[in-house]
Amino acid sequence: MNNFKKLLTAAVITGSVSLVANAADTQVETYAHPTLFGSQANVYATTNANYVVGGEVDKTTKTAVAGKSNVLIDTMASDVLNTVRKAQYNCGDWDTKMPVLRSELAVILAESFASGRQVSAKKAYSDVTKDYWAEAWIETAQDTGLMIGYPDNKFRPDQRVTKAEVFATIAQIVDVNTNGVNVVLNNQEIQYIPLWAVNAAKETVGSGLLAEVPDQKKVIEDEYLTKEQVAYLVSALKTYLASGKLSVDANAPQVCKDFANSTIAMKMNSRVSAKHSNVNELFTARTTKEVTVAGETYAVGSTVTGRVMEVKRPGLNHPGYVKVKFETIKNKGSKVAVNLPEKTAGAEVVGQTKNPNIVARVFGAPFSATARVCGVAGRSGAQAVNVAANRVEEFGDDVSDVMVEPMTGHLGSGIKSGGNGLLSLGKGVYEIGKTAVSGTFGVVNEVTDEVVYLVYPKASNNAALNPNEEIIVSF
C-alpha cells in the first residue's frame, strides 16, 4: 500500500508538471519551499492552475521579453517548432538542436509570412508527394517566393540547410547597409561562409538579428543552424520588421512587403513581478500609439488586458521569473474587448522605469514579508501534518497486523509488522524534523530576499514589469 501511494503521488506530480510544460493555457505558480533535503513536492491542481510547492520546476523554454531576461512570453518561435513537431513527428520525440531541414525551413517561413494564404500556382516537385507531411507548406513557400526548388524539378525536402543558405534567405528579405560590417559575431569570425554568401552574411550580422538567436557559439562555429535557432531567427525578423528596426528589401517576396502584423505599443498601468504577482492575476496597460487589430482601429489610450501565466518566486540563488500573456484589447470608452492573436512574434521593453523608491519599499516590506513568512510556516505545518497522518496510518495498520497475524498462526509476520510499525514512527519523526529545518531555512530565505529587495531592488528588475514602462508587442 505504501509503495502504491508513493507511485500515485509521483504520477500526479510528474503528470501535473508535464501538463504545465505542454499546455499553453495552464498556469503554474512555483514556491521555492520546501526544497531542502529532498523534501516531498506537493501539487495542487485546479481547472486553470497548478500550484507546485517544493520540487524544482525548470524555467520554461518560452522567450524572454527583450530588456527583461526573466519576464517570459509565448512567441511564434515556440509555436512554429510545435507545429513542425506535430506535423512531422506526430507528437513524438524530436531534437530541436539538430540542423534544420529544407522542409522545416519552408514551414517556418510559410507560417511566419504567409499563414492561411491561398496558393495561386502549384508546382509539383518530383520528390514531394501529395502525402508528404510538409507538402502544403512547401507549396506556399514556393508560390510566395520565400523558397525555390532546384533546376532538376526537385525540392530536396529532407536536405539539411547550411548556415550560409539561411543567411541568404534572410538577406533577400531585409535591406541592411553593410558598409563597415564584417562577418564577425562576438569578436569572432563566423565560420563556414563561402564567397558567394559573404554579402548575405554581412547583411544578417548587420541586421542585429543574431543577438536573438540562442547558443551563439554554435552560430559562429557550426556549418548548420539548428531548428530552434532558425525559428528564433525568423521570429526576431518579424519583430524587427514590425517595430521598424529593419526595412524590407525592394526585391523581397511580396508577402514580406505586405507584412502587416499588429504591433502594439503600450505602457503598464500596474506592476507585475516574480516577487509579488500571483498566477492567473490580471493586469492592464494603455496603448501609446494607434493600432489596427483584426481590421479594427484602436486609439491611443485603449486598454490591453494581460494575465500572469506562471510565477517562479525569487530565492537566494535565483531571481525567479514571471510569464505573461496579453489577451485582449478594448477601445477607450468601449465595453467590448477583442481577443488578441494567439501567436506573438516577440516583445520588447523600451524606456525602463525605476523600481519603487525606498520609502515605498519600506512601507510595503512588512506586509509582503509577513505574508511570505506565514506562507512558508503554513505550508511547512501542513506538510508536517500530512507526514504525521501518513505515518500514523501506517503505524495503525502495522499494530493491527501485530494483533491479528500471531492469532492466525503467523508469528514471524506479526513480529515483522511490529518492526515496520516502529520504523514508521521513526521515519515520521525524521521527516517532521526535516520539514521543520527546511521551513526554518525557508523563513530565512524569504526574509533575506525581502532585505535584498529593500537594499538593492535592481536585482529583481529583470523579473518585473513596472508601471509606465513601455512595451512593444508584435503579433
149 pLDDT higher than 80: yes
Strands (E), 342-408: 346-350
Q: What mean pLDDT do residues 122-135 have?
A: 89
Q: Give the model confidence (pLDDT) of 67-122 as tens digits.
A: 888 888 877 777 788 788 888 766 556 788 999 999 999 999 998 888 777 787 77
44 pLDDT higher than 60: no
Banded model confidence at residue 157, pLDDT cuts 50, 70, 90 = very high
Q: Give the model confidence (pLDDT) of 174-231 as tens digits.
A: 999 999 999 999 999 999 999 999 999 999 999 999 998 989 999 999 999 999 999 9
Give residue 14's pLDDT: 35
Task: Mean pLDDT check: name the lowest of 18-32, 399-413, 430-444.
Answer: 18-32
Q: Distance of CA 289 to CAs 89, 262, 300, 334, 471, Å?
A: 42, 12, 5, 17, 11
**Between residues 345 and 389, which one has the greater pLDDT?**
389
Q: How far apart are CA 64 and CA 323, in angstroms?
A: 9
Q: Are 387 and 428 in contact (CB under 8 A)?
A: yes
Q: Which residues of 319-357 are buried (b: 16+ CB within 10 A; e: fewer)?
A: bbbbbbbbebbbbeeeeeeeebeebbbbbbbeebbebbe
Give residue 90's pLDDT: 66
42 pLDDT higher than 50: no
Banded model confidence at residue 301, pLDDT cuts 50, 70, 90 = very high
Give residue 317's pLDDT: 63
Give residue 310's pLDDT: 83
Give residue 185's pLDDT: 94
Calculate the average pLDDT of the chain.
80
Give residue 472's pLDDT: 87
320 pLDDT higher than 50: yes
Give residue 62's pLDDT: 56
Which residue is it, cell 554568401?
197
**Between residues 173 and 19, which one has the greater pLDDT?**
173
DSSP assignment of 211-231, as one string?
A: GGSS-HHHHHH-SB-BHHHHH
314 pLDDT higher than 80: no
Q: How far apart are CA 57 and CA 383, in angstroms?
A: 19
Give residue 388's pLDDT: 85
Give residue 463's pLDDT: 86
Q: What mean pLDDT do residues 299-315 have?
A: 87
